[in-house]
Structure 1
Amino acid sequence: MQYISIENSDSPYLPFVQELYHSAFPVEERRSWENLLKMIGTVPEMSVQVVLAEEKAIGFTTTWIFDEWFFVEHLAIDPVNRGKKFGERIMKDLLVNRRLLLEVEPSSSVDAVRRIGFYERLGLVCLPFDYLHPSYHDSHVSHSLVLMTNVAERAEMYFNEIIRRVKKQVYLYHPL
């Protein structure tokens, strides 16, 4: 597998990423495409990478680096390539020597249970405290998600600073 960073809006991979971005994530879990394009190459903490297998685009990631933390905002595999262990290989690459944090939907659907199980098999755990995902579109709307990590600590206080940074920098969330 090969990871190609998308550095600007001239990337030939953007149409693939755009289609997968819109099909893989509900509107409340993605920013507008125009905003994402403005951020590519201008927000140093953020990286959008297309994932290639045998020189063909099969997925993408949107990740953020905050000091010693790595936040996975989006990870998606093209539907025709799901079930081929690409997601597992990507996650194993992301987990190498990193403290990782990501969000998943609560286990209220078959897909959500399957997704949580996928991450658990890779060594991540669900954090046992409530977490509200700020809306990308309306600062007064949020919805419940579950945080997962590969860090052994489970106390909410331990995660306060990284959660604050994610909300402030990823979601541009500024509490009143």
Structure 2
Amino acid sequence: MENFTAIWNIYESSFPEDEKRSLNLQLEILKNPNYQMKALEDDGRVLGFISFWDIGEYVFIEHFAIDDSFRGRNYGSKFLNTFLNEADKKIVLEVEKPEDNITKRRISFYQRLDFKLNAYDYTQPPLEEGKNAIPLLLMTYPEAMDQEQFNKVKEALYRVVYSNEIK
């Protein structure tokens, strides 16, 4: 994969241990036809990346990050808006519960892009052995989910995204 080293460096520095995979598992996941990881570039520089899964009715954004040195310059909004405009499906992503300024700001960022916060209990399974499950919330675009839709999306996430990791 082109630019993998630059993407991996951003991935490693942007997410807590329980929210990221080991290098070996990530290289295995890249072989999955439902998964894509793309560099977000401007003028030949890798500014960030987005990784996502096709889970049926939705596209699941698993990781989205802008390199620390490029944050605060609207690159995140620009790249995510482009992704949303090019997607031919609804979008879902996981966020940490709004318990501090950082998590509240992250949710607000997505809400400014018209994502809806769904208040149903959700837990991300451990990504691999030795990692912890994480209580999260799901955000969706362009509309919120009802309980039935949430249950379907949760089942699809567990089956498609986390099936290899659930022990």
TM-score of the two chains, using structure 2 as the length reference: 0.90
* Match of residue 133 from structure 2: 142
Offset of residue 174 of structure 1: 8.1
Aligned amino acid, residue 34 of structure 1: N
How far apart are residue 91 of structure 1 and its match? Answer: 1.4
Identity of aligned residues (%): 27
Aligned to 1:107: 98
8 Å contact from structure 2 (residues 90, 142) kept in 1: yes
- The amino acid across from 2:100 in the alignment is S
**TM-score normalised over the length of structure 1:** 0.86
Structure 1 residues without counterparts, runs of 5 or longer: 1-5
Unaligned runs of 5+ in 2: none
SS of residue paired to 1:128: strand
Aligned equivalent of 1:59, options 25, 48, 51? 48
Which range moved further: 88-97 or 133-142?
133-142
2:108 pairs with 1:117? yes
In 2, the alpha carbon distance for the partners of 1:38 and 1:55 equals 27
- Equivalent residue for 1:3? none
- RMSD (CA atoms): 2.0
Counterparts of 2:151 and 2:115, CA distance in 1: 18
Q: Do structure 1's residue 23 and structure 2's residue 23 form an aligned pair? A: no
1:49-91: CA deviation from partner (whole Å, max 9, x where unpaired): 0111011110011111123311000001001111111110121
Which residue pairs with 1:154 in the alignment? 145
Runs of 4+ in 1 over 3 A off after TM superposition: 138-141, 173-176
| Structure 1 position 76 matched with structure 2 position 65 | yes
Q: 2:120 aligns to what SS in structure 1? A: coil
Give the number of aligned pairs. 165
Q: Give the match's secondary structure for 1:118.
A: helix
The CA deviation at 1:173 is 6.2
